[in-house]
A and B are shown apart, each in its own frame.
Chain A
Amino acid sequence: MALVLIEDSELLESALRGDRRSLGKLISRIELGFNPGLKKSKTWTLGVTGPPGVGKSTLIGSMISEWVRRGERVAVLAVDPSSPKSGGALLGDRMRMQGSDSSDSVYVRSIATRNHPGGLSYFIDPMIDVLAAAGWSKIIIETVGSGQSQTRIAAFTDRILLVEGPDRGDIIQAEKAGIIELADIIAINKSDIPSAKETFDSIIYSLDMSKSSNVDVHLVSALNGDGIISLIASIEKCHNYEDENFIRLKERLLSFWDSRLLSYPDLNDLLEQLNTGTITLDEASDMVCKGLLEEEI
């Protein structure tokens, strides 16, 4: 055990000095539960979420190119779900990010959710801290917005970009997913397809109805670059709501709560009792709360 610790601290040191191989290994260690315990430094983070197939990765690719041109160093953590059946994962985001493989100023790391209890919530913060400490000035977390626990990962960032696309049916679908409330900026991608304008209009209309937000909505094309510059300007001027944004804090809290619940040692027992009907859901959640408290002591 002590040996491993020495190795970890050496890894951390050389990762922070800028060695990419060490950074890669360090992130793998964090995935396995290692926490380097860095002091929280100033980070710049952006969460990018949205339904599958709307062009999140491609859009990130064109934003990366622009940021790199401006002298930024951009790191992307691209999160994809692991298969619940085999435990394997297909990580294909980086192939859609142009320039992700050839610049010293870009670091792209694919991350499988691995069905960690409660998803990635325990690991995403230390990963962000390490990347920031290693000098990555823009840190982007990409997650598929299909399911609450996936979307919640985006809540660990300071600003959230929701990407939507044309021809995805009624905008009500997007509202049902509950992602719109989390978003600071919305980008309707694929403006090269005429019906994208309809999606754009209906999102604007729906936001007007709710009157709740000052969300910027952009019509962009990752394919031909239209609207990317003004999208970036909007992302850059977006405030960091960290302490004020109750919705986001709530998502983070829920995410941690999921982790705690799923790592509850007697969870299977509890499920068994629920299955046989010996206890009710109400009783089960009481038992979990009590059990977790005792664990603390």
Chain B
Amino acid sequence: MRIVIAKPGLDGHDRGAKVITRILRDAGHEVIYTGIRKTPEEITRIMIDEDAHALGLSSLSGAHQVLIPKICEKLKSSNMHDVVVFAGGIIPEHDHQILFDSGVRAIFGPGTHSNTITEFLSEVENRKLNKMPTGVGEDLGWRWC
């Protein structure tokens, strides 16, 4: 898959995002890393121009419940309903539902094993192959847990 790993907002801590980038590359994916401090508009444009299938958002600054739903909305209004969105970083349990409601399909916190993330992506590939709703703007029945 072509996957964009992005750091939205004013958050400069990207060690985690870089590690994820490496893990996904080693699992055979083409990974585009955006660098830090990207706006929702920029991230959406990158998704469009790179024709990416999935977007991983890393957030450690606490702005996730504002920025991540905004990015999901932008993707939907740009006709990218089929794009799969997952998130990682420091996202407290009580904020998870807001993100899931926006179309995020998985949230990976600290201590997540790298295999879990690659298994999630295999499942995503599988679902897409079988035309099951997985994208940010598709039916919200399924999520990874």
Contacts and interface: CB of A to CB of B under 8 A. Distances in A.
Interface of A: 20-21, 23-25, 27-28, 82-83, 86-92, 94-96, 101-102, 107-110, 112
Interface residues of B, number: 29
B25 A83 contact: yes
Contacts of A21: 48, 51, 78-80
Interface stretch (B32-40, B64-72, B90-98, B107-115): B32-40
The binding surface of chain B is classed by DSSP as mixed
B33 A87 contact: no
Contacts of B2: 28
A91 B49 contact: no
Given A28-B51, A83-B26, A88-B27, A110 B45 contact: no
A91 B32 CA distance: 5
Interface of B: 2, 21-22, 24-35, 38-39, 41-43, 45-46, 48-51, 78-80
Given A24-B49, A86-B27, A88-B24, A94 B80 contact: no
Contact of B29 (A88, A92, A110): A88
Contacts of B29: 88
A89 B25 contact: yes
Given A20-B48, A101-B43, 20 more contacts: A21-B48, A21-B78, A21-B80, A23-B49, A24-B50, A25-B51, A28-B51, A86-B28, A88-B27, A88-B28, A90-B21, A91-B30, A91-B31, A101-B38, A101-B42, A101-B46, A102-B39, A110-B32, A110-B50, A112-B30
A84 to B, nearest CB: 12
Contacts of B80: 21
